[in-house]
Structure 1
Amino acid sequence: MDEIIPHRGYKKYGAELITNMHHYRVEIFNQVVDLTIQEMDNRFSKASTELLGCISCLDPRNYFSRFNDDQVIRLATLYHEYFSANECSRLPLQLSNFIANVRCDPQFAALCNLGDVATKMVKSGKHLVFLLVYRIIELALVLPVATASVERAFSAMKTIKTDLRNRMGDEWMNDSLIVYIEKGLFSTIDNEKILQRFQSMRTRRIQLPPL
């Protein structure tokens, strides 16, 4: 890797000399990383990136080595409807007590994800002692699922409510979205049961033929 080579893209003679290490690190690796960061910035908004950063600081690995109380407090302020002003003022002290407690507790030493932390807190009764911290952990566990569900709903809406269906009502669109989003679950339901359910909803002129 320390071999001296001409700078790629220049004439062979009179070109700047660089090492193979410089070529692969600066001209390939760094460029790939820059492109990846640009794609991430284009895909996720600034608010989403900040939210992910706040959640990631709750990682329990290595005795909560990434814990940052400022980011956890920021997460609480972002969702102020779940935390009153009085609770936000009490949160810093409860966070410092919590992190000091779990770092000394061997039960939390081998945990590797936030779901295990929540389970262990309930089993040990710490969810009652550190009530605000447990509420934040619950919020952090729910947010990725809720965000993904919202994105799936908006993506499905583009498929369901097309230009030809732009006058469909909210109730009908809601039902259609549920069926489209949860199509894996609905595919397990027998079509005959659906026909019977539809037939029994009200009196109809004709009977639907069995499948």
Structure 2
Amino acid sequence: MRDNGWNSLLDDISSFCAKHDIEVPNMVDTYVVPGRVRRHEEKRTVLHHFQVELFFQVIDLQLQELNSRFNEANTELLLCMACLNLSDSFYAFDKEKLIRLSKFYLKEFSKVQYSTKELDNQLETYILDMRSNTHFVNLKGIGDLAEKIVEKGKHALYPLVYKLITLVLILPVAIATVERAFSAMKILKNRLRNRMSDQFMADCLILYVEKDIFGNIDDETIMCRF
């Protein structure tokens, strides 16, 4: 968007302004800074102000935030996950990236009879089946896809593909749980409790994160347990 998005954005804004009778400044005019006039200030055009000083700066800030949150491995993982998107007749499907996705979960795939060639064959048949089967046309997301695959018994035909789908569905939940744990850790392990053991802290975190569940357990049950 930084390289190619400015012209289309400017066209959209200009059409919006024209529709609502909003004056559009001439982009080649000299930009005048509101407020006190500075004699030695470098002159620049209106286009430079909006494109460089506003548009590019906002995009660069967003890119910086994305790069700090998503490293190269996380980005590749997300791109591979996107290949399971079922919109436009599985337009985003990419067999090579899905095989790459399986390599992020070697521990999970070691539990089943697995080989790259076997997954390759299943993906090849799977995509032909999905695109030709009317039952998989109007689904809204990967969650619906997983349910329909089980409903139609396809999970037995494509067990490795189904395992990939379930792992992709679990991933956002796992990330959210970790984020909640880190947030709770800042509250529990404060300046007065900075010497608590790892096991005690883990037990406290479970109680804090899942307080809605533990709040329903009465004291009598806890005393009988311990």
TM-score by length of 2: 0.73
Contact 1:77 1:88 in 2 (8 A): no
Residues 1-211 of structure 1 mapped to structure 2, 5 A cutoff: 1=14, 3=26, 4-7=28-31, 15=43, 17=45, 19=47, 24-25=50-51, 27-84=53-110, 86-187=114-215, 189=216, 193-194=218-219, 196-200=220-224
CA deviation map 1:118-161 (0-9, x unaligned): 00101111111111100100111111111221232233223323
More displaced stretch, 26-35 vs 42-51: 26-35
Aligned counterparts of 1:57 and 1:32: Cα–Cα separation in 2: 29
C-alpha RMSD of the superposition: 3.0
Aligned counterparts of 2:32 and 2:123: Cα–Cα separation in 1: 53
Gaps of 5+ in 2: 1-13, 15-23
Aligned counterparts of 1:114 and 1:76: Cα–Cα separation in 2: 17
Aligned counterparts of 2:188 and 2:150: Cα–Cα separation in 1: 42
CA deviation map 1:69-128 (0-9, x unaligned): 222111101111122494223212211211121011111111121001100101111111
Aligned counterparts of 1:60 and 1:120: Cα–Cα separation in 2: 12
More displaced stretch, 98-107 vs 76-85: 76-85
TM-score by length of 1: 0.77
| Shift in Å, 1:170 | 4.1
Count of aligned residue pairs for this structure pair: 196
Gaps of 5+ in 1: 203-211
Contact 1:58 1:66 in 2 (8 A): yes
Q: Which amino acid aligns with 1:6?
A: T
Contact 1:59 1:112 in 2 (8 A): no
Which 4+ residue blocks in structure 1 deviate beyond 6 angstroms?
Answer: 8-11
| Shift in Å, 1:8 | 6.3
**Structure 1 residues 45 and 159 mapped into 2: Cα distance closer, same or farther (>3 Å)?**
farther
| Shift in Å, 1:201 | 5.2
Aligned counterparts of 2:185 and 2:137: Cα–Cα separation in 1: 44
